[in-house]
Amino acid sequence: MNRTESFSGSLFREPLRTEDWGPQFFAYYYKQWDDYQMSYHTHNSTEIMYIISGICRVDVMMADGSSEQAVLKKGQFILLDAGVPHRLLVQDGVPCRMLNVEFGFTPAAPGQPSIRRLALEEEAVHTFLTHTAPYLVLPDPEEVYYTMKSLVLELDQRGMMERRKGEKQKETDIPAAVNPGVIPPHERTLHREARNLTTPDQGTLVRTLFIQLLVRMARLRGEMERSMLDQTEVYVKRAVEFMYQNMDRSIQMKHIAAAVNLHPGYLHRLFRNYTQRTPTDYLTMLRMEKAKMLLQQTDIPISEISDYVGVGSRQYFHMLFKKYTGMTPVQFRGSIERTQWRYPEELE
């Protein structure tokens, strides 16, 4: 059983794409943090943290036990899937104000909009739901924020109406439904922290706003991935160009990364994902192909070839070349000479 099957609050569960489910919200709150360090924790719900102002850091523990850090600024948000260990860290003197919502899923009643139906109509949502990720950090042109604000306001108002309804029933001891009346305007803008929301049906408007939120997040992710792919191609091409121009000398990963203005670890990850090779493997391939060309087309002594391809040790060069071609440089040049040799015409 994988993680998305173990946690019913996961956004990437297959039943969301094959059965009719809708959202159910468990918590929402506006909160300002300062000098705060949270312990790693998990919960069976998907969480969105939207940064309204300031800076914060979210550490996420990956399935292999490693951790990744996301530094979030105003106008960014992080989506954390259910069951993913994470923690929040905020520096002293650099407060961070955020809007959070936590949600899971409940079966949709007949006639209600469902996530499955939305995914059938909106390709970006289908792609979003089928590409599992423990977390996502996305920039927002304020569309997600306004949708979340409307969603929280509606949840807040419904929560107050439910509380008023409960108080009214207590006062009159009437078990039947009681009209809670209209919430005063000054109370509508008071966003409270609300946890353990238990109302099964949180209203048509809540479901509609969630669908809008899901579509906006899916499209933002699609746009980001297309942009990243384009940018990755640029970085990889620049890195390969640097290798071509400098493979005759000793170069390391830090030199390649500096040439394209990226952190070595980040470039390594981008390069490997894009080419299916590490930068070191790719550089070795370029050097061995150049060595083959020099052995084929020039009379440069074999003992000097290693210097032409930036491998300082002749012994190491011979090892790399044999691993790459299956032959030693001597055997390779010998095979080329045999295929090129012909009897003189007068002896044929």
For residue range 50-72, list pLDDT tens digits in order: 999 999 999 999 998 989 999 99
- The average pLDDT across 129-134 equals 94
Last residue of a domain, one of 224, 248, 266: 224
Domain region containing 139: 3-224
pLDDT score, position 339 = 54
pLDDT score, position 162 = 63
Low-confidence winner among 14-23, 165-174, 240-249, 272-281 (lowest mean pLDDT): 165-174
Q: Where are the alpha helices (DSSP H) in 193-310?
A: 204-246, 253-259, 264-275, 279-297, 302-308
191 lies in the same domain as 322:
no
- The average pLDDT across 131-145 equals 92
190 lies in the same domain as 281:
no
| The residue type at 79 | L
Residue 263 covered by a domain: no
* Rounded CA separation 6/16 (Å): 14
CATH, residue 108: 2.60.120.10
* Rounded CA separation 78/51 (Å): 9
Confidence of residue 229 (pLDDT cuts 50, 70, 90): confident
Q: Tell me how far CA of residue 96 lies from CA of 13, 36, 51, 316, in angstroms.
A: 32, 10, 7, 53
Question: CA angle, corner 91, sides to 87 and 95, nearest 5?
Answer: 100
- The average pLDDT across 92-112 equals 93
11 lies in the same domain as 72:
yes
Low-confidence winner among 13-27, 104-118, 332-346 (lowest mean pLDDT): 332-346
Paired tokens of 21: 């489910």
290 lies in the same domain as 219:
no
Rounded to the nearest 5°, which phi and psi values hold at 319? -65, -45
CATH, residue 293: 1.10.10.60
pLDDT score, position 157 = 80
For residue range 146-160, list pLDDT tens digits in order: 999 999 988 888 766
213 lies in the same domain as 281:
no
Residue 249 covered by a domain: no
Residue 269 covered by a domain: no
Confidence of residue 76 (pLDDT cuts 50, 70, 90): very high
171 lies in the same domain as 293:
no
pTM attached to this predicted model: 0.65
Low-confidence winner among 19-33, 169-183, 193-207, 222-236 (lowest mean pLDDT): 169-183
